[in-house]
Structure 1
Amino acid sequence: MNLILLEPHDVAQNGQALLRDQRRLTHLREVHRAQPGDTLTVGCANGLIGKAELTAIGPDQATLRWEHLGEPPPPALPVHLVLALPRPRMLARTLEHVTALGVKRMTLLHTKRVEKSYWQSPELRPEKIHQHLVLGLEQARDTVMPSVTLVKGFRAFLDEHLPALLAQGRGLVAHPGMASPCPRGINEETVLFIGPEGGFIDWEVDQLLNAGCEGMHLGPRILRVETAVTALLSRLF
């Protein structure tokens, strides 16, 4: 936890914040070994970053008094990530990784090779998604919460979502066997499509390419989704 993210329910009056959840309290005690008088990095959700003094800490509550909140969060990546829904355990890690890297817009998509049972996972509950996003923000010292959209049908995605997404920027489909390598160091608005383990099926690739997306690859190696996502974002931006 490189930043304590203060959400609206944490903030009290007179420039103070109260932390009552055991996850953050345990981290303060066991990792930071924080004591009253210590200065910690804090940030308001979707707001600014600064310093706060720990004024008290006990088994059930910690009190912070912020000194100055004037630093903006780090810039976001200019990307909307469209990710075929991974298996639940991989989804949790991937959400944290891409949030730490600066992705602010995500769509989790059903494709042919996505197991239907994945959509029943507790990891897709709003509170669980929020938890993983918070962990990513804390890691990266960021405060701006990403948006996550769930789309359970590929055909519905093509009709109802894809045109608006491609109006935002350049569409790139990461898929093994594409003719072009992944671009490097771009800074334009981009919609990045990443398939499931096993990749998109040919029909799905054809639909995305026919809509105006460009195909590209990361080389001959077949990577896990969480590895491919990190590699692609790092190389692209």
Structure 2
Amino acid sequence: MNIVLLAKQADQHEYCIRDPRQIQHLRQHLDVKIGDCLKVGIQDQERFDARIIRIEIHEIWIERLSKQVIPAKIPVTLIVALPRPKVLRRLIMDSVTLGVEKIVLMHSYRVDKSYWQSPFLEQLPHYVQLGLEQAGDVMAPEIILEKRFKPFVEDRLALWTQQHPTFVGHPYTDQSMPYAYNQPCQVVIGPEGGFIPYEIDLLKENGCQIYHLGNRILRTETAIPVILSRLFI
């Protein structure tokens, strides 16, 4: 935890940390004391330096000091076929930590329909918070759930692609993913086992560009940082 992230609240001079997980971390790992300084953020608002002014059993009170710069986002919409629940947890946390601006979780042929009933989906805000705390960020990405592949591609992704290019990671193509693109775009990652030919054809028909990442087939959680590091240097 590289920043203490608090829920949205009105601007004020003093704030109270009450989250048991955060308090445990501050006590056990940082051994905080009155007068110590912390990096603090208010979700979707701002981040600042703060000083501890009071420590109680279930609360730690801080006073606001100087305002700090919020880390910049990567101008990318990450579109991922919904993965297995345990992979989803890591995927969301890592994508938020990397600074992805928007995340779309979509259905595809090889996505098990039971994944959409997973309780992990209800915990997405918690995974977002953990990713923000790791990165020292406060601005949560927008997360969209798309349970129907064809309507999403034809009705929404096609419009987005008219504004910014859409790059699809797919091992069975001749073109290599661009380097150092550094411009707004969409990135599409398929499910375990990849997209079926019909899905690739539909993506092509709606303006998407299909690229490979080399001669190795990567897991979803590996492909995401590889693609983002290639496109944004």
* TM-score of the two chains, using structure 1 as the length reference: 0.94
Question: Unaligned 5+ residue runs, structure 2?
Answer: none
Partner of residue 69 from structure 2, selected from 72, 82, 91: 72
SS for the counterpart of 2:87 is helix
Name the counterpart of 1:27.
25
Query: How many Å separate the matches in 2 of 1:93 and 1:105?
Result: 16
Contact 1:43–1:50 under 8 Å retained in 2: yes
Name the counterpart of 2:108.
111
1:1-237 equivalences under 5 Å are 1-9=1-9, 14-69=12-67, 71-125=68-122, 128-237=123-232
Give a deviation string over 1:185-230, Cα, whole Å, max 9, x none. Answer: 1111111000011111111011111111111111111211111111
SS for the counterpart of 1:157 is helix
2:108 alignment partner AA: T
2:65 alignment partner AA: E
Q: CA deviation at 1:14?
A: 4.7
1:44 alignment partner AA: I
Q: Say how many residue pairs are matched.
A: 232
Contact 1:47–1:72 under 8 Å retained in 2: no
Q: CA deviation at 1:4?
A: 1.0
Query: How many Å separate the matches in 2 of 1:73 and 1:178?
Result: 38
- Of stretches 176-185 and 85-94 in structure 1, the one that deviates more from structure 2 is 176-185
The CA RMSD measured in Å over matched residues stands at 1.4
Query: How many Å separate the matches in 1 of 2:77 and 2:12?
Result: 38
Contact 2:154–2:206 under 8 Å retained in 1: no
Identity of matched residues, %? 39
Query: How many Å separate the matches in 1 of 2:163 and 2:31?
Result: 45
- Of stretches 87-96 and 152-161 in structure 1, the one that deviates more from structure 2 is 152-161
Query: How many Å separate the matches in 1 of 2:227 and 2:12?
Result: 44
Question: Unaligned 5+ residue runs, structure 1?
Answer: none
Contact 1:4–1:42 under 8 Å retained in 2: yes
Query: How many Å separate the matches in 2 of 1:163 and 1:235?
Result: 24
1:91 alignment partner AA: L
Q: CA deviation at 1:83?
A: 0.4
